[in-house]
Chains A and B, each alone.
Chain A
């Protein structure tokens, strides 16, 4: 019983971490990645949201 609870809990934890990681990856790609194409496309958004741009 305890084991089931613990494993259910760790599943929730793993899922939550996964969701957070997907979110932060998106933010990184939009705000930080320095490929020229990404930089140019995201330029105005980066300036307006206060990401360090160039």
Chain B
């Protein structure tokens, strides 16, 4: 078990660093720019609405949507600029998140090997991509990656749907890949689709303040960074874990 822990933590640490680096290069510029729109420093389609008018219009069109956190000016790490303190926190949380994912991944791999599944490097990478599907891509199908300042539906409802979708994707992929017989595999696909048939919590209307090009770039880049990081995580976990035959 100690070996399981250490290989997952080493792999998670390395993947987290890679993720933080890629985010620093690709994703964070989008976040910082979006925050300048969020704070009202920049206005998309200047002259159509002031930030105050926008907030009032949004409060009117979306009752039940809580903008108080946004408008009350919560702190983003070290103020609005990408200071060293803020970067360090992002690195720390990237490492923590991917260590967590690494542990979950190695546990799943151990379970698979207990039931006779053989895992090499390429399977490890595929498992990483499956993790990306479960924890980022499929949840993003219903809850797109949000730039700061994007209005969204009730947080708890979104968290529940997100977690349910991740769990359903894990279970669905397992049965689709390792199920015995056509029925189990087909059932896996049904489980995979279920949260999307049920539907994610939806917005009553749109009210994003950043330009759509910025939001699109942010969504595409954050998914790409996630995919690369997960593939590396899966490859590293399986390699480190198998590096000691004693396990």
A and B held together in a complex = yes
**B residues contacting the other copy or chain, number (CB 8 A):** 55
Q: Which residue of B lies closest to A43 (CB)?
A: B76
B90 and A44 contact, CB distance less than 8 A: yes
User: Considering the chains assembled together, what is the distance between the CA atoms of A30 and B162 in angstroms?
Assistant: 15
B225 and A19 contact, CB distance less than 8 A: no
B106 / chain A contacts, CB cutoff of 8 Å:
19
Q: Chain A 24-54, CB within 8 Å of chain B: the 1/0 string?
A: 1111111110101001111111111111111
CB distance from B138 to the nearest CB of A (A): 10
At the interface, yes or no: B99 with Cβ under 8 Å from chain A? yes
Q: Is the interface of B mostly helix, strand, loop or mixed?
A: helix
A48 and B100 contact, CB distance less than 8 A: no
A16 and B76 contact, CB distance less than 8 A: no
A-B contact count (CB 8 A): 132
Name the one of B23, B75, B162 contacting A44, with C-beta atoms under 8 angstroms.
B23
CB distance from B207 to the nearest CB of A (A): 14
**A residues contacting the other copy or chain, number (CB 8 A):** 38
At the interface, yes or no: B8 with Cβ under 8 Å from chain A? yes
User: Considering the chains assembled together, what is the distance between the CA atoms of A26 and B55 in angstroms?
Assistant: 35
Q: Which residue of B lies closest to A41 (CB)?
A: B89
B107 and A23 contact, CB distance less than 8 A: yes
Name the one of A20, A32, A39, A50 contacting B104, with C-beta atoms under 8 angstroms.
A20
B: which residues have CB within 8 A of A? Answer: 1, 4-5, 8, 19, 23, 27-28, 31, 69-70, 74-77, 86, 89-90, 92-94, 96-97, 99-108, 110-111, 114, 135-136, 139-140, 143, 145-148, 152, 155, 158-159, 162-163, 222-223, 225-226
A: which residues have CB within 8 A of B? Answer: 9, 12-13, 15-20, 22-32, 34, 36, 39-54
